[in-house]
Amino acid sequence: MSRIAASGAVLVGGRSRRFHSDKAFMPFGGTSVAQLLFERLSSVLAEVFFVADQVNKLAGHEHVTVADLQPGLGPLAGLQATLHHAANDYSFVTACDLPFLDERLLPILWQNTGEADVIVPVWNDRVEPLAGFYHRRCYAQVEAALEAGRRSMRDFWPLVNVVRVDVTRHFDPESIERMFFNVNTPGEYRKMLTMVDGK
């Protein structure tokens, strides 16, 4: 299968306040969540890299790591660094707290690029900004949002063309809940470990 002509970024720069340790290095299936996500994205995208708050965060790691241009400003700063570094017009952006992200989602979203600046999955009135494609055209709006003190991935959406893809047409409810299961606390990590066998 040919790869999608887009870049991919795994954001690993979160402060993990509620988790009490670095989520990027959470053990998962004999590796780490960050490494597993990297491998999944690499199977479908032309280019994949990590984005961290500091470039030496993954020192000794074999994969490319890009540093935030504005460290400490959350995932929106990670998106800024992604769009600045990416070799392709579109970049798929995700984070290391989505351990069960399904790579089959990416071609489904990709079919909806067209004139879209942002393509994100939605289900049951919920949306996951950290499992979507972003066009480099968004860079100026992302930068302006950061300069205005905004941190949410959605803060610049009113200024760009956002396409929301209903994933309930492609995945059953259980698969959707699993795919977007978010690990932010030690309790959620323990739950994640009980879910591994069902991958």
User: Tens digits of per-residue pLDDT, 3-40?
Assistant: 999 999 999 875 555 555 566 677 777 888 888 999 99
pLDDT confidence band for 76 (50 / 70 / 90): very high
Q: Which of 79, 191, 199, 170 is nearest to 130 (CA)?
A: 79
| Whole-number average pLDDT of the chain | 88
Provide mean pLDDT across the span 110-123: 96
Q: Which of 124, 66, 73, 129 is nearest to 97 (CA)?
A: 129
Domain that holds residue 13: 4-198
DSSP the chain: -PPEEEEEEEE-----TTTSS-GGG-EETTEEHHHHHHHHHHTTEEEEEEEESSGGGGTT-SS-EEE-SSTTS-HHHHHHHHHHH-SSSEEEEEETT-TT--TTHHHHHHTT-TT-SEEEEEETTEE-TTEEEEEGGGHHHHHHHHHTT---TTTTGGGS-EEEEEGGGTS-HHHHHHHT----SHHHHHHHHHHGGG-
User: Tens digits of per-residue pLDDT, 131-159?
Assistant: 999 999 999 999 999 999 999 999 999 99
- Give the per-residue pLDDT at 29: 75
pLDDT of residue 163 exceeding 90, the answer is: yes
- Give the per-residue pLDDT at 63: 67
Please say whether the beta carbons of 113 and 197 come within 8 A: no
pLDDT confidence band for 61 (50 / 70 / 90): low
| Tokens 């893809």 found at | 165
pLDDT confidence band for 195 (50 / 70 / 90): confident
- Give the per-residue pLDDT at 56: 59
Total domains present in the chain: 1
Can you tell me the distance from the alpha carbon of 33 to that of 26, in angstroms, rounded to the nearest whole number?
Answer: 6
Q: What is the CATH number of the domain that holds 113?
A: 3.90.550.10
pLDDT of residue 197 exceeding 60, the answer is: no
